Amino acid sequence: MAQVVVRKLNEAVKKRLKQRAARRGHSMEAEIRDILSVAVAGEKSSREEGLGTRIARRFAGKGLDFDIPEWHGEQARPAKFKR
C-alpha cells in the first residue's frame, strides 16, 4: 500500500475531517481513504471512453450541427465503392 503525506493542510479542514470521521464511526485515516476513493471512482481516462465520444467531444462547438445515429447491435460490413 502507498502512503501519502499532505502538508500545509488547513486546521479547519483537519477539524472537519476529524468530525466527519467521528460521525461515521471511522478513523480520520479511513475517512480520508474513503473520500479519495469516491473522488476518483467516477473518473474515466480518455482510453476508457469510446471512439465516438472522443470524436464528438473534439468537434463540439465547431459549427458542425448534425446528428449521427448510433447503430448498436449492427454487424460490421465492408464499404462498397462504385467503380
Q: Alpha-carbon distance 66 to 60, whole Å?
A: 11
CA 60 to chain centre: 19
Task: Provide the whole-model pTM.
Answer: 0.49
Name, in order, each residue with C-beta under 8 angstroms of 17's C-beta and a sequence gap of 6 or more.
28, 31, 32
Q: Rounded to whole angstroms, what are the CA distances from 8 to 2, 5, 14, 24, 52? A: 20, 10, 10, 25, 42
How confident is the model over 2-39, as pLDDT tens digits? 899 999 999 999 999 999 999 999 999 999 999 998 88
- Taking residues 43-71, what's their average pLDDT? 74
Percent of the chain at pLDDT exceeding 70? 89
Domain ranges of the chain: 11-57
